[in-house]
Amino acid sequence: MAEYLPLLLFATVCLIMMAGYPVAFTLAGTALVFAVGGILSGTFDPAYLGAFPGRLFGTLSNTTLIAVPLFILMGVILEKSRIAEELLGSMAQLLGRLRGGLGISVVLVGMLLAASTGIVGATVVTMGLLSLPSMLQRGYNPSLATGTICATGTLGQIIPPSIALVLLGDILSSAYTQAQLNMNIFNPKTVSVGDLFMGAIVPGLLLVCLYLLYVAGYAWLKPEQAPPASDIERIETGPLLRGLLPPLLLIAVVLGSILAGAATPTEAAGVGATGALLLALLRGQMDRARLREVVRNTMEVTCMVFMILIGAAVFSLVFRGFGGEELIHGMFEQMPGGVAGATLVVMLVIFLLGFILDFIEITFVVVPIVGPILLAMGLDPVWLGIMIALNLQTSFLTPPFGFALFYLRGVAPPELPTAAIYRGVIPFIIIQLLVLVALWFWPELATWLPEQLQNK
């Protein structure tokens, strides 16, 4: 019975979080209760908890994680200063007279907004408030409109630069180093957040292109359900360029500096946050009250992320203290299909956990457990990271529990049926599954670009 305590610990944490208790305190509190019980019964060595201060110091001194509050700040500024709203308006003006043009605008603007925030809820809610009323008013099929918004909102999982990839890259870096040390490789290779950004570009753009093809194809086959906007008459070049160019240039500078090796993700995040603030100030859209709101929202999200990180550190130490790592490793070795079978099982578990946990919890809790084991079995860390991100993105879209569906339901008109939202996301789920399958059979979709850029 004692050897299955790690699984019991994991299951208990999931059940308590499903009951609605705060994630960070659930992780740490449940782990400490199990640890006390293990100490009293002689099945847990308290020395594992003695490693917690070192873990905490390592988190505080990790410069990569400084990118998290800076990217959050950048995204919140773009949202609160109405720059994202103006970007959507400009794109709709440019493409709105085409069939499906408003839907295409939503995909493109949502991609940029998702890249800026990296938080599914923020993007879905923002795009739902900005674009859903316009799409419904102009005669769009409710399922097409809601499906497009939900799918676009989840792009923050895979489109760099995003918080999801920053956190996942940092965890995978530690897991990759640990995996090599476990294999007695004392001069380990490294993987960085920048590598994950590079690996995400091709799959992310492929996903966006397939979204655009679907919306355009739907509009071509059923023009009455994705009509052109009749209220857009003449395109004014000046306002159009003022709405489009500055945010596009800002995101291009942030991502381009990382890919070119001119800046680390942390440095690029600082440039992005500063640029977004200057952009808002120059447009006169950042007064003292709005700045106070931006800083408060940034602090709330940042505190949530780092509290979960601290709680996950306690959970990880207790899980390992009960022999959880050895238990999972043994289970993977006995699975039919070898590394492929183990990877499929992990992907299925992560997909199901995506119904009840956000990407932050899964990144901090699940990836440190299974990452070192899978990487020691020979998987490429960049490929594994992109597979996990795409997998979570699909999970957040899947009815009836997908997070993106709940977020949009919260801001959608009451008369819009939930069934229409569920129907709308089905084609996008199929698209994401096709990209996942393609990435499974052609890992080069994720690994080719990082190898090319590193060889220059």
- Residue 57 resides in a domain: no
Q: What is the pLDDT of residues 48-103, one digit of tens each?
A: 888 888 888 887 888 888 888 888 888 888 878 777 777 777 777 777 778 888 88
d(CA 356, CA 359): 10
Give me the torsion for CA of 118, 120, 123, 127, rounded to 10°: 150
- Residue 31 resides in a domain: no
- Residue 316 resides in a domain: no
What pTM does this model have? Answer: 0.85
Q: What pLDDT does residue 160 have?
A: 82
Q: Is 78 within 8 Å of 277 (Cβ atoms)?
A: no
Q: What pLDDT does residue 190 have?
A: 79
- Residue 25 resides in a domain: no
- Residue 208 resides in a domain: yes
Strands (E) across 168-241 are located at none
User: Per-residue pLDDT averaged across 238-252, rounded?
Assistant: 77
- 3-class secondary-structure state, position 158: coil
What is the distance of C-alpha 297 from the center of its chain? 18
Q: Which residues of 95-134 are buried (b: 16+ CB within 10 A; e: fewer)?
A: bbbbbbbbbbbbbbbbbbbbbbbbbbbbbbbbbbebbbeb
- Residue 30 resides in a domain: no
pLDDT at 118 over 70: no
Domains in the chain: how many in total?
1
Residue ranges making up the domain that contains 158? 64-308+321-454
Peptide bond into 400 cis (omega under 30): yes
- Residue 344 resides in a domain: yes
User: Per-residue pLDDT averaged across 429-451, rounded?
Assistant: 92
- Residue 12 resides in a domain: no
